[in-house]
Amino acid sequence: MKLVDRVIRFLSYLLIPAVVVALSVFLLVQPDDFGARSEPLSIAVLGETETALSPVEARARLQDRAAVDSYSTHLAETPFWIWTPIDGRVSGEPVLVLPSRHTREIECWEGASLQSLGRADRDRTAGAMYPADTGFAVSFDEAAPEEVLCRGRFSGPANISAELWSAAALDRASRHAARAAGMLEGALLGLVFLALAFSLVNRDARYLLLATWLFANLRLAAISIGWDDEWMGATLPSDWLEPIRQLTIAAYYLLTFALFDRLFGEMRLPVVLNGLLATAKALGPLLLAAAILLPFGDFLPLMWGIVGFGITVVLACMFGMALRPNGRVAMYYGGALLMVLSGSASEIVAAAFGFDALMGVLNNVTAALASSALAVLAFIEQLRDERRRREQAQRKLARTYENTPIGLFTLDEAGRIQRSNTALREMLGLEQAGDPARLAGFFGPEAEQMLQHTLAAEGAQELEIPGTGGPDHARWYQLRALRGEDGIEGSLQDVSERVAATRRLSFLADHDSVTGARNRRGLEVGLETALADGDAQRPGALVYLNVDRFKLVNELHGYAVGDDVLRQLCARIQEELPPEAVVARLSGDTFLLLFADVPLAPAARICRRIQSAITERPIVVGERPFPLSAAFGVLELTPNMAAIDAISSAERACHEAKRGPRLVVYDRNARALAERVEELRVIKSMDRRDAPAGLRIEMQPIMSLQDPRASLDFEVLLRMEDADGCSVPVGRALAAAETSGNMTKLDTWVLGRTLQWLREHKEQLPATRFVCVNLSGTSLNDEDFIDTVLRTLADHPDVAPLLCLEITEAVALRDLPVSRRFMERLRERGVRVALDDFGAGYTSFNYLRELEAEVLKIDGSLVRDLTAHPRNAAIVSAIVALAQNMGMRTIAEWAEDAATVEALAECGADYVQGWAISAAQKPEAILQARSAADFVEDEAVLQTLRRLGPPSSF
């Protein structure tokens, strides 16, 4: 059987193809005698002018014409008279052939008798005339006449000639030409369809362009040999021929440059050639427009000029690229292009200048054949290149597959390994590439289920599993699998380090890196769960533990020693905790203990044991002991608490414990806990809006000591009510605002509310000269707040001059240039400035000179004991005298009785404020009064006021 196969292969691949090639070559080299069976005739040609000639007149004039072998019409479309003597003899029936392919119509007569022989054009024939070769023929029944006279019309570069044939030879020649033309057309069309199929299969527009160019090449060859009146076997109407010829030439020009640009566009050419090439491309649309708009006679000269220029440019570019390594495929295509252009150039030279020496060898027909052959070679080379690239890609893919550090495998449907790379074999401990072991056997049932699911589902499957076999069992792998054509394709990657890192990061997300205890995030998760699952009858407890002076350990002995102390401290705390308790480290010296199911009293006892364990035995690092102590804040948890509120309340209990008792317990009814809850509510309400709900303002009157009933001045004070309408100490709101960073919101609200109230009731306050508003030091250190104050004042220009903003002396002196600039901008808007609490701190009289305030408010600690301590009276008198010397007014706070009011008047103070005059009043009460003295109820104070002197201006 093998011998038979070898014989068949020998015959099919070697012997038969060799015989076909040898026979074809032998027949091709045999002489072709078709051309010897015709005899060329001499002719005399006369062009007809505007006056039409009769056959008699034409024959008479032609007698004087010299006979020639051929005659060029030079594009003339007027009729031509042709006279030829039949001086040749052929065997058989004679036939006169006028072979010009540019003949449009022709009529012939016998030369002597002028008897009509017939007429013909491209659509019809009459008499003895019929189409032959590429022109027309006249047949004679027996013997040819001695001479023949014809009249014809021609288009284009016609070349008139005459030949004498025998009818049999002409018939054989016609059949041979038709067969050759069919073979040429079939070969070119086959190549066209091959290129088109190549383009569709490979999705490469280059081959589509080549197919179109080859078809145009076929039509150009048809024009050259005169059978362009047929289109793939269909005969075209005669009036279509010239437009189609023009469009064919223009389209071929465009396609040629498009193909040239596609094949060689990336080649670098000299600047001159680049410019010429761009010009030649730009002439393509012009040639197409001329083909559409101009008649054939006008189109030809323009076509010769443009095509001649384009051919010259392409030939120059091809010559410039001849020495460059462009690849065989590109050079074959370039050779095909060069052949066609050379054939076109040969025909243009022959038509334009009459030089047709090369036409027999180099024309559009031979160029079409040669370019087709080169195109076939280009296709073959292209296929070989693609096969070579495919083999290289396969070898590269095989090397990549084998050397990839990720394990790659192919399994059959039973899960057996069919193919594997080196990485997979090393991971699993396989001995050879074809080891048919089952992959799932190395990983257990999870891998088996995944592989079965892969066979039944679409898309990739992925699984992260621990190894149970192979050289290392304690590792993690990522298994990916995808159903392929013959089974399962997949990869296996060792991700042990990534899994370990992920677990470490997951641990650190909820645990402290030093002690291993929970961190704040980890504890909050457990705390939120405990509060959500908590039982009101059996509440848990939260402990806030702070180690005293632990920072000294880090500062004196370094952080390494401090971390060791923390680890031992955490271990000692955990020794005393029940198993269900959770310990977390919040910061360097702070811990939280969560007792989810332990009531408050047992939790407090556990804390005392921990306290004893910390204080009774010092922690030893190396040989150095570190005695420690701690404060504990214990909070009873209730189900309605928020985790963040619980931590904040336990922290407050711990801060209270640090002041003495060392352990403070807040049960659910503790007053301090209720106060902390209210502070937290205030903070939350500040986060939701500009100021908390229940906030309002009141006014405390400020009375003039020179004329008590002359003015109604007051200071705006902040008041707040809880959700039940009960008054809440304002200090709590201020503390909450300071803690939460919302003090600027509070000050902004107070200032805006005051200005709005003054605008609404300005007409009801004719005696009001100034209204004091206190600004906190936190707000005054905020540039954004200062800008807000100035914008608010600009929005209330009608009542802003009534304001007197109080700035604490210590705050004003903290950044003197900023304070001075702020006070200047306030004065520009008519606002006065008062230095509050003057005399309470370390007053600098030198800086006071720089501030230029309008009012000094004497600190209440000096005023309250004014009559009990003579030194206070001396200090107040000195402050009043200082203020008067600096052009400032004084307001004394905290005046609580008539004696203090009278002493202040004796010291020369301008205004007095305090309970001796009035407590803070609601805004409605202020609107009902005419002066600050209207609020005085103490008779002793009233007696003092009656003794005061005449009014003075403010």
Residues 6+ apart with CB under 8 A from 120: 105, 106, 107, 126, 129, 130, 131, 136
**DSSP labels for 253-269?**
HHHHHHHHHHHHTTS--
Nearest CA among 232, 92, 225 for reference residue 168: 92
What residues form DSSP beta bridges with 593? 543, 583
pLDDT tens digits, residue range 363-419?
A: 555 556 666 666 666 666 666 777 788 888 888 887 887 788 887 878 887 778 878
Tell the burial category of 632 from Cβ atoms under 10 Å away from its Cβ (0-12, 13-18, 19+).
Answer: buried
Of the ranges 22-26, 60-64, 296-300, 639-643, the best mean pLDDT one: 60-64
Fill in the amino acid letter for 125. T
What pTM, to 2 d.p., does this model score?
0.42
Rounded to whole angstroms, the Cα distance separating 434 from 410 reads 11
- Tell me the backbone φ, ψ of residue 537, rounded to 5 degrees: -80, -20
- Structure-token pair, residue 574: 């955990």
The confidence score (pLDDT) of residue 358 equals 47
Mean pLDDT on 740-757: 85
Residue 747 CB coordination number (10 Å): 24
Rounded to whole angstroms, the Cα distance separating 124 from 120 reads 6
- Structure-token pair, residue 904: 């202040």
Residues 6+ apart with CB under 8 A from 841: 809, 810
Residue 908, helix vs strand vs coil: coil
Mean pLDDT on 828-841: 83
Residue 149, helix vs strand vs coil: strand
The confidence score (pLDDT) of residue 132 equals 81
The confidence score (pLDDT) of residue 889 equals 93
The confidence score (pLDDT) of residue 242 equals 76
| Banded model confidence at residue 773, pLDDT cuts 50, 70, 90 | very high
Rounded to whole angstroms, the Cα distance separating 823 from 803 reads 13
Give me the residue label for tokens 């004003």.
Answer: 812
Residue 455 CB coordination number (10 Å): 14
Mean pLDDT on 459-471: 67
- Structure-token pair, residue 262: 């596609």
The confidence score (pLDDT) of residue 208 equals 77
Say if CB 223 and CB 188 are below 8 A apart.
Answer: no
Handedness of CA 513, 514, 516, 519 (dihedral sign): negative
Mean pLDDT on 305-324: 70
DSSP state of 237: P
First to last CA, the chain: 132
DSSP state of 291: H
Mean pLDDT on 327-350: 58
Q: Is the pLDDT of residue 31 over 60?
A: no
Rounded to whole angstroms, the Cα distance separating 665 from 649 reads 11
Mean pLDDT on 830-843: 78
Rounded to whole angstroms, the Cα distance separating 691 from 687 reads 8
Rounded to whole angstroms, the Cα distance separating 683 from 733 reads 8
pLDDT tens digits, residue range 139-150?
A: 887 778 888 999
The confidence score (pLDDT) of residue 711 equals 92
Average pLDDT, the chain: 78
Nearest CA among 297, 229, 220 for reference residue 252: 220
DSSP state of 933: G
Give me the residue label for tokens 């792998």.
Answer: 477
pLDDT tens digits, residue range 909-950?
A: 999 999 999 999 999 999 999 999 999 988 888 888 887 655
Q: Is the pLDDT of residue 343 over 80?
A: no
Range scoring the smallest mean pLDDT among 287-301, 349-363, 549-563: 349-363
11-35 in b/e burial notation, b at 16+ Cβ within 10 A?
eeeeeeeeeeeeeeeeeeeeeeeee
Residues 6+ apart with CB under 8 A from 369: 184, 187
- Maximum Cα interatomic distance, the chain, rounded to a whole number of Å: 168
Rounded to whole angstroms, the Cα distance separating 392 from 553 reads 69
Say if CB 658 and CB 553 are below 8 A apart.
Answer: no
In percent, the amount of the chain with pLDDT more than 70 equals 76
Q: At what angle do helices 743-760 and 783-795 cross, to 10 degrees?
A: 10
Fill in the amino acid letter for 390. R
**DSSP labels for 875-892?**
HHHHHHHHHHHTT-EEEE
Rounded to whole angstroms, the Cα distance separating 96 from 41 reads 9
pLDDT tens digits, residue range 542-568?
A: 899 999 888 888 777 888 888 898 899
| Banded model confidence at residue 1, pLDDT cuts 50, 70, 90 | low
Mean pLDDT on 874-888: 88
Say if CB 858 and CB 806 are below 8 A apart.
Answer: no
The confidence score (pLDDT) of residue 471 equals 45
Nearest CA among 205, 212, 193 for reference residue 263: 205
How far is the CA of 191 from the CAs of 112, 182, 186, 374, 409, in angstroms?
Answer: 53, 14, 8, 11, 44
Fill in the amino acid letter for 227. W
Rounded to whole angstroms, the Cα distance separating 409 from 761 reads 88
The residue length of the chain stands at: 954
Q: Is the pLDDT of residue 356 over 60?
A: no
What residues form DSSP beta bridges with 624? 621
pLDDT tens digits, residue range 73-114?
A: 876 778 999 999 987 777 778 888 888 877 888 999 998 888
Q: Where are the beta strands (DSSP E) in 423-475?
A: 461-466
Handedness of CA 898, 899, 901, 902 (dihedral sign): positive
The confidence score (pLDDT) of residue 923 equals 93
Residue 740 CB coordination number (10 Å): 16
